């Protein structure tokens, strides 16, 4: 247990909403083998900063397809992107209109209000 | 403020909601179909990797009345048999309709292939290969609703209150998650199809987005709930190593087919210690498997994550690949090599048998308010058969949609914005508080999930349930009104979590109160302090909210006049 608790991952996360200046926040997260990037983002929301905006639904089945973000510059489903005990950068999808933090407008046009 | 009008408003766009939209539209109604996630992506349907039960009789002779007998037997005397009969009788038509719309059920020798599943007396479970049933049916329905111009689909809107006038549903207020604005909906009929409550539990096997909102919305609107104590726990859900991209209940068919060994933390077989006969046969019933796994863990002999090991290492790689197909590669991607590693499994919340009380048209006691799918309670009594959940979503969705469309033709709702004023004032008042104690809604959700798992999970006692009830009431009274919420408007996750927490607490209270009152063990409800069934409790509990308080009464189950074995 003690050994497990000493491993950490650091998430370097781009923050900010549409029409706001963006910034990067660093979050240190306890690392457990097999963790996903989404697990870490959810841990941050419960334990460090509840205001971090993320989008997900099914958590880990890769069924809902709503949790995409840029992980170290690559487009990934954060639910299946594996976390490592090192630093990673997480940013919103670059080709979608930003809403807030990691949430971009991925709603199909014909499903919008 | 945005305002939309339709004949029928549907809350939730999983299997039941999408089927309801199609049925309402083909019966002449205009439809607004809402989901707080994306249409056909949230909810439980898309997660279901297993099978769909229906007596289409293509694998072997079958009849819906035999399916009904199996369903009622599993329900331990508490099924609303009218609803069970509807599920079983109309299931075949829905399965075949789905095939016409493009679902590719696995076939062999020119017919739909149907498998056996525990509790069924015939091979009647249809599926889409490999472990792809839910995503495939969700895709079919998503495409189908997309083709219907009378269905207006709207994603990312969470309904926070159903509007009623004189005992009739007339619309709803929703929160547009993208911009934080409230939206009003006027409708002649409203269908609750927002699924179950698995999110109440720390260990669960369904989508993260079902926190029991359908039940809470129904209670607040004046409708009744039934059988809220009957949460189904799946005994061998996946615990570790971390497995992503897969349904956590995937192991069951493989264990059934190949015989995976259930071992404790010391790698010893143990189910036989609890009166089971699993040794060498791997056929322990679900409740026995759950009980023995949790008891071993309690005795300090669990696997590292508090469950048991499921071990396939005695099976050859060729046999494993034959049974698992491409799934074996998806497991390898997760670093799981079944020839070398035993996985950890344990019970997890999977489905809710209880729900909104409806008649056979899926209507609640509030006129014009319907429920369908997992949101509706009663068809499965105290325990649900494997394969009945997706069938229920299709059948009840279709029935709710066509009933609501017919009802909409009979009435007129003259919308005035004032009808929503009280609800909107209530909701806006929530935004006026400041952060007081720094407690967040998402952390309270996490606390509630852990507590429900510990105190209202697979094995319950009066003491634990009473402690859970006290904390839930305290959270409702003290914590919910003082949660920190930022002022942001665009995609404010704190605000979404607050609304979700509010519904989760109301639904959790309904579950815990019902579980406390049922002082017996029956089906999915197991009380360690009352280990036997009590025939005087062969009744359903019906709940309603009166002046903000939950009150319940016992009623006799709805029974059909049927003769055992009359199908011949």
Distance from the A77 Cα atom to the nearest Cα atom in chain B, whole angstroms: 10
Using the Cβ of A113 and the Cβ atoms of chain B, whether some distance falls under 8 Å is answered with yes
Q: Angle formed by the axes of helices B81-100 and B388-410, to 10°?
A: 90
The pLDDT of residue B114? 96
Rounded CA separation B66/B62 (Å)? 7
Closest Cβ–Cβ partner in B38, B176, B244 for A60: B244
Q: What is the pLDDT of residues B536-565, one digit of tens each?
A: 999 999 999 999 999 999 999 999 986 555
The CATH T-level fold of domain B2-231+351-414 is FAD/NAD(P)-binding domain (3.50.50)
Q: What is the pLDDT of residues B324-377, one digit of tens each?
A: 888 888 899 888 999 999 999 999 999 999 999 999 999 999 999 999 999 999
**Residue range B49-55: mean pLDDT, rounded:** 91
Does residue B485 carry a pLDDT above 90? no
**Residue range B29-37: mean pLDDT, rounded:** 97
The pTM (predicted TM-score) of the whole model is: 0.95
- Bridge partners (DSSP) of residue B540 are B555
Q: What is the pLDDT of residues B489-506, one digit of tens each?
A: 899 999 999 999 999 999
Task: Find all residues with CB under 8 Å of B217, minimum gap 6, and list them.
Answer: B11, B159, B161, B162, B192, B194, B503
- Cα B91 to chain center, whole Å? 18
Distance from the B486 Cα atom to the nearest Cα atom in chain A, whole angstroms: 7
The pLDDT of residue B194? 97
Q: Does A27-108 carry CATH code 3.10.20.30?
A: yes
Domain boundaries, chain B: 2-231+351-414, 232-350
Does residue B246 carry a pLDDT above 90? no
ipTM: 0.93
Interface of B with A in 460-489 (CB under 8 A): 484, 486, 488
Query: Which of these ranges, B75-89, B111-125, B139-153, B538-552, has the smallest mean pLDDT?
Result: B111-125
- The CATH number for B232-350, chosen from 3.90.700.10, 3.50.50.60, 3.40.718.10, 3.40.50.170, is 3.90.700.10
Please, what sign has the CA dihedral across residues A57, A62, A66, A67?
A: positive
The residue in chain B having the minimum alpha-carbon distance to the alpha carbon of residue A113 is B154
- Chain A environment of B46 (Cβ under 8 Å): 58, 63-64
Please, what sign has the CA dihedral across residues B127, B129, B134, B140?
A: negative
Calculate the CA dihedral of residues B95, B98, B99, B101 and round it to 10 degrees. Answer: 160
Please, what sign has the CA dihedral across residues B29, B34, B38, B44?
A: negative
Which 3 state secondary structure label does DSSP give A59?
coil
Q: What is the pLDDT of residues B219-235, one digit of tens each?
A: 999 999 999 999 999 99
Task: Find all residues with CB under 8 Å of B271, minimum gap 6, and list them.
Answer: B262, B277, B278, B279, B284, B288, B289, B292
Residue B95 gets the label, from left (phi > 0), alpha (psi -120 to 50) or beta, of alpha
Q: What is the pLDDT of residues A71-93, one digit of tens each?
A: 999 999 998 899 999 999 999 99
Tokens representing residue B174 in the block: 């929703």
Domain boundaries, chain A: 27-108
């Amino acid at each position: 247990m003690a050994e497990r608790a000493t491993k950490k991952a650091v998430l370097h996360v781009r923050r900010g909403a549409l029409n706001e200046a963006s910034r990067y926040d660093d979050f240190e997260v306890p690392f457990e083998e097999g963790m996903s990037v989404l697990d870490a983002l959810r841990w941050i929301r419960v334990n460090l900063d509840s205001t971090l905006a993320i989008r997900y639904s099914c958590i880990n089945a890769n069924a809902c397809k709503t949790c995409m973000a840029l992980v170290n510059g690559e487009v990934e489903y954060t639910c299946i992107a594996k976390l490592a005990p090192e630093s990673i950068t997480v940013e919103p999808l670059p080709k979608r209109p930003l809403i807030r933090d990691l949430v971009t407008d991925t709603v199909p046009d014909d499903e919008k209000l | 403020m945005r305002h939309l009008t339709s004949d029928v408003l549907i809350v939730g766009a999983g299997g039941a909601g999408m089927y309801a939209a199609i049925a309402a539209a083909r019966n002449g109604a205009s439809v607004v179909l809402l989901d707080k996630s994306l249409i056909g992506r949230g909810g439980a349907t898309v997660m279901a990797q297993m099978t769909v039960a229906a007596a289409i009789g293509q694998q072997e002779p079958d009849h819906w009345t035999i399916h009904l007998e199996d369903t009622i037997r599993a329900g331990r005397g508490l099924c609303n048999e009218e609803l069970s009969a509807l599920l079983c009788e109309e299931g075949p038509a829905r399965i075949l309709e789905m095939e016409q719309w493009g679902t590719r059920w696995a076939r062999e020798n020119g017919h739909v292939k149907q498998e056996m599943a525990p509790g069924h007396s015939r091979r009647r479970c249809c599926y889409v290969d490999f472990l792809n049933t839910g995503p495939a049916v969700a895709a079919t329905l998503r495409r189908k609703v997309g083709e219907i111009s009378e269905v207006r689909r709207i994603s990312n809107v969470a309904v926070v209150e159903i509007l009623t006038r004189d005992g009739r549903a007339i619309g709803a207020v929703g929160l547009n998650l993208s911009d934080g604005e409230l939206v009003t909906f006027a409708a002649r009929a409203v269908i609750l199809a927002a699924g179950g409550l698995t999110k109440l539990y720390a260990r669960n096997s369904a989508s993260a987005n079902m926190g029991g909102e359908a039940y809470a919305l129904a209670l607040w609107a004046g409708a009744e709930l039934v059988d809220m104590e009957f949460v189904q726990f799946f005994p061998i859900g996946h615990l570790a190593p971390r497995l992503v991209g897969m349904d956590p209940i995937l192991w069951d068919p493989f264990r059934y087919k190949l015989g995976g060994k259930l071992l404790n933390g010391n790698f010893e077989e143990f189910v036989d210690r609890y009166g089971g006969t699993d040794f060498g046969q791997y056929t322990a019933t679900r409740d026995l498997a759950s009980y023995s796994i949790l008891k071993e863990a309690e005795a300090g002999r669990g696997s590292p994550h508090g469950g048991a090991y499921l071990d396939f290492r005695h099976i050859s790689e060729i046999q494993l690949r034959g049974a698992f197909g491409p799934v074996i590669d998806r497991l390898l991607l997760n670093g799981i090599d079944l020839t070398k590693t035993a996985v950890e499994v344990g019970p997890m919340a999977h489905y809710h048998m209880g729900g909104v009380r409806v008649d056979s048209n899926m209507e609640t006691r509030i006129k014009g308010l319907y429920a369908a799918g997992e949101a509706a309670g009663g068809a499965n009594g105290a325990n649900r058969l494997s394969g009945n959940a997706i069938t229920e979503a299709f059948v009840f969705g279709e029935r709710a949609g066509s009933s609501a469309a017919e009802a909409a033709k009979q009435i007129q709702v003259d919308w005035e914005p004032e009808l929503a004023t009280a609800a909107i004032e209530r909701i806006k008042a929530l935004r006026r508080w400041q952060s007081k104690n720094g407690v967040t809604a998402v952390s309270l959700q996490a606390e509630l999930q852990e507590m429900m798992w510990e105190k209202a999970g697979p094995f319950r006692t009066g003491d634990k349930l009473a402690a859970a009830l006290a904390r839930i009431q305290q959270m409702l009274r003290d914590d919910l009104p003082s949660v920190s919420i930022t002022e942001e408007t665009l995609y404010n996750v704190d605000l979404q979590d607050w609304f979700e927490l509010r519904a989760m607490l109301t639904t959790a209270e309904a579950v815990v109160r019902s579980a406390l009152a049922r002082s017996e063990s029956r089906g999915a409800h197991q009380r360690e302090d009352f280990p036997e069934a009590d025939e005087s409790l062969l009744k359903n509990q019906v709940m309603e909210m009166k002046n903000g308080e939950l009150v319940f009464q016992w009623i006799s189950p709805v029974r059909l006049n049927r003769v055992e074995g009359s199908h011949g």
